[in-house]
Structure 1
């Protein structure tokens, strides 16, 4: 297997769900793949998603985007059809992109999106084409294209964003504070690696440092700096676990002035050195367990 094929095989898997007379079950977390997300498009029938103690019912046409814990699965009723994609954080982040327009998609990636009985027939048709394209591309093995996969996944993410209603929330906002928090998060996505001071974020938002601090503490129970450090730690954990970058490369990619500075920051936040964290994470993944990484979904 070529390096490209190995990379694709480790970061994505696809199943076309054809109509049958029997109930079927699909594992969402596969030990052979570094998959942390699942995208499900149910075109007909019904299904249920089991995530630890949580269960989600789907009624076609339905769309679901969920984080995947160990032992999670999809149970599809007889007579149902659709697609299941298992995706890694690396693939999802690359599909979302890095620019200003990618912020909503990166925001969505940490969220759970479930939409049942969709009446957007054109959107369902377009998503079906992208799901089908990814499923077919993965069958090519060594000839599959990473760019082709991320392009179609980006289209799916955009549809998820629009159908979920988050697009309207981000544009309108249900309160002044939530709008400011959303803008703060957008700025954090764009400038996290530049290590802006809180005062600069506040200035960009057109408010005082004290007001930004008050909004974050009252709404999220965390200071602006804690939120930024949580985000930076989350990104560092993902890179250490799900990328082949060296620790020096991770430090540079996240904007730290030195590996020593990065290691000190990471140890203060996690209690482990980056090297130890990576080792323990790999050991736990090999046992099909998930190492706890602080989620970024508690932002608005």
Structure 2
């Protein structure tokens, strides 16, 4: 049940279950980082039938129990653990939703999600090569426009945004944890010009690569 959706719960006396309340914005931010294909589901109210014999259903109780235990532990990293468990829970809910009987729209969404997953796999394999969206589309048998529309429908962002987000994430990882120079990182990520890489990184993060590296090193030193 997404934020701002009016709802209520009525429980029978013998009901045994869980109600989890989470802040929408940080949850969406976490989902966008690791599983953006879940965003449409996260923003749409739904009531799902659960097949108790399914693998996804079997995965739910341990996740609920782990989340309940985490609420009783007031230690460092509690927010990170809680969000990670919520994302894992949403993955299982999405699998349950995709298996709903007689839902042609769900089947179509599942097919589109599979196409997007193929695209993401290609991006993972080739993002360092600065491959064009046209080339990605050709590899998937669709036009660049079709690919971008598909990504917007499933992920809420364009195909180019998917590629750029992966490049930025890798750049951040290299800046934070590697000893490579800015010029070397730019070359590793397929940028022929260090200055262009710097402009690209600042556009997407708001920081110059040197500033981001300094902030990351300070955080690591304080951890």
TM interval, short-chain normalised: 0.5 to 0.7
Aligned-partner Cα distance in 1 for 2:70–2:146: 39
Aligned partner of residue 70 in structure 2, secondary structure: strand
Query: Deviation at 1:248?
Result: 1.2
Aligned-partner Cα distance in 2 for 1:198–1:55: 42
- Which structure has more strand as a fraction of its residues? 1
Q: Flag as ranges the 4+ runs of structure 1 deviating above 4 A.
A: 48-51, 111-114
Alpha-carbon spacing, 1:174–1:284, altered in 2? closer, same or farther (3 Å): same
Aligned-partner Cα distance in 2 for 1:174–1:264: 36
Q: In structure 2, which of residues 189, 193, 197 is the aligned counterpart of residue 262 of structure 1?
A: 197
**CA deviation digits over 1:37-58, x for unaligned, max 9?**
xxxxxxxxx9x9989x99399x
Q: Which residue number corresponds to residue 179 of structure 2?
A: 244
Unaligned runs of 5+ in 1: 1-45, 58-69, 74-110, 115-164, 166-172, 289-300
- Which structure has more helix as a fraction of its residues? 2
Aligned-partner Cα distance in 2 for 1:54–1:232: 36
Paired residues of 1:49 and 1:56 also in contact (CA < 8 A): no
Query: Deviation at 1:286?
Result: 2.2
Query: Deviation at 1:250?
Result: 0.8
Q: In structure 2, which of residues 98, 113, 117 is the aligned counterpart of residue 182 of structure 1?
A: 117
Task: Tell me if 1:223 matches 2:167.
Answer: no
Task: Tell me if 1:214 matches 2:149.
Answer: yes
CA RMSD of aligned residues (A): 3.6
Query: Deviation at 1:249?
Result: 1.2
Matches within 5 A, 1:113-262: 175-262=110-197
Q: Which residue number corresponds to residue 70 of structure 2?
A: 55
Aligned residues: 139
TM-score normalised to structure 2 length:
0.53
**CA deviation digits over 1:128-175, x for unaligned, max 9?**
xxxxxxxxxxxxxxxxxxxxxxxxxxxxxxxxxxxxx9xxxxxxx982
Unaligned runs of 5+ in 2: 1-61, 79-85, 90-94, 96-107
Paired residues of 2:148 and 2:159 also in contact (CA < 8 A): yes
* Mean Cα deviation higher: 233-242 or 254-263: 254-263
